[in-house]
Amino acid sequence: MDILKTKPEMQEWSKNKKKESKTICFVPTMGYLHQGHISLMEKGKPLCDSLVLSIFVNPTQFGPNEDLDSYPSDIENDLALAKKAGVTAVFLPNKQNIYPENYQTEISLQYLPNFLCGKSRPVHFAGVATVVTKLFNIVMPDVAVFGQKDYQQLQVIRQLTLDLDFNIKIVAGDIIREKDGLAMSSRNAYLSKSQRTSALSLSKSLRLAGKLIARGEKNPVAIRNEIETFIQSFPETNIEYISFCNPATLEDIDNIENQVLLAIAVKLGKTRLIDNALIDPSQ
Ligand code: PAF
């Protein structure tokens, strides 16, 4: 497994692959890898000749009061997991590499960031869009894999790939859950024992909504009220949003007729967790 620490090294590596007519699949991450990331690598591995993983905690996607300084990291373990998953090369740039002195450019989208997480994290998606654009230009992949747990991020990436004419196929990876249903996230590491129990309110709410919709409930307000009461019955939960929206545009819907995205964000102490499900009333 090659480890590339600078932009020119990574670009040179990718150019050489292209010269050999080898395709590249890319999985960008912020490290502290868990089974969710591994599933993205497993999904990407058979799609191309080589698999590139990046590990970079991108400062521009964190707001001033967010967890940039405490974001968990374990590079040694990450490299061991990447090797085991069959990664061909790891791109491990530092901040200076990605954002050199006098760096000035930002990529921002007009509509998708106005919903869901974007409402409470106003700088987040511009930071994600900017770093992913840069990583695409550096790694030059043919395919890139992003997890569906960050559904809004996935939509933002799909849109920017289209808008900026990247010739990259975007592949969505399933949400990977712990045995009890909690969606895997590097941020789960912050949870205390009691918060970990309350965190199950998110995945349980998705199941509850699925059942109500399957029984014929079409009114998102009625379901939202039930879910709200349910989540609030767990200690330390602070609901940020419960949204029934159009899976493509992320706009709120007022009647559940077709496939709907139910997205939830809840704060447990200082830790903010998100989860979502695509629910089809006809199934
Ligand atoms: O999903 C993440 O880990 C990050 O948002 C990403 C896509 C690597 C950009 O920093």
Which residue has a Cα nearest atom 6 of ligand 1? Answer: 29
**What are residue 264's phi and psi, to 5 degrees?**
-130, 140
Q: Which of 14, 17, 31, 37 is catalytic?
A: 37
Measured in angstroms, how far is the CA atom of residue 257 from the centroid of ligand 1? Answer: 32
Give the C-alpha separation, 102 to 207, whole Å. 48
Measured in angstroms, how far is the CA atom of residue 16 from the centroid of ligand 1? Answer: 26
Which residue has a Cα nearest atom 5 of ligand 1? Answer: 128
- Domain 2-173 falls under CATH 3.40.50.620: yes
Q: What is the pLDDT of residues 268-283, one digit of tens each?
A: 999 999 999 999 999 8
pTM of the model: 0.97
pLDDT value, residue 220: 98
Give the C-alpha separation, 79 to 77, whole Å. 5
Q: Indicate the DSSP class of residue 50.
A: E
In the numeric block, the tokens 């007519």 are attached to: 21
Nearest to 58 by CA among 145, 150, 129, 158: 129
Q: What is the pLDDT of residues 204-261, one digit of tens each?
A: 999 999 999 999 999 999 999 999 999 999 999 999 999 999 999 999 999 999 999 9
Q: Alpha helices, DSSP H only, in the chain?
A: 7-19, 35-44, 75-84, 95-98, 117-120, 124-139, 151-163, 193-198, 200-214, 220-232
Give the C-alpha separation, 18 to 12, whole Å. 10
Q: What is the pLDDT of residues 193-204, one digit of tens each?
A: 999 999 999 999
Q: What is the pLDDT of residues 177-218, one digit of tens each?
A: 999 999 999 999 999 999 999 999 999 999 999 999 999 999
Q: What is the pLDDT of residues 97-112, one digit of tens each?
A: 999 999 999 999 999 9
Q: What is the pLDDT of residues 127-165, one digit of tens each?
A: 999 999 999 999 999 999 999 999 999 999 999 999 999
pLDDT value, residue 283: 83
pLDDT band (50, 70, 90) for residue 50: very high
- Which residues line ligand 1 at a C-beta cut-off of 6 Å? 28-30, 58, 61, 128, 131-132, 150, 153
Q: What is the pLDDT of residues 8-35, one digit of tens each?
A: 999 999 999 999 999 999 999 999 999 9
Q: Tell me the three-class secondary structure of 8-34, residue by residue.
A: HHHHHHHHHHHHCCCCEEEEEECCCCC
pLDDT value, residue 138: 98
Give the C-alpha separation, 240 to 228, whole Å. 10
Q: Indicate the DSSP class of residue 182.
A: P
Report residue 256 as tokens.
């559940």
Residues of the chain with CATH 3.30.1300.10: 186-276
CA dihedral 110, 112, 117, 122 (to 10 degrees): -10
Averaged pLDDT of the chain: 97
What percentage of the chain carries pLDDT values higher than 90?
Answer: 99
Q: Which fold has domain 186-276?
A: Pantoate--beta-alanine Ligase; Chain: A,domain 2 (3.30.1300)
CB contact at 8 A, 127 and 60: yes
Q: Is 37 a catalytic residue?
A: yes
Count the neighbouring beta carbons within 10 Å of the beta carbon of residue 226: 15
User: Sheet of 260-268: strands edge to edge?
Assistant: 237-245, 260-268, 271-279
CB contact at 8 A, 28 and 104: no
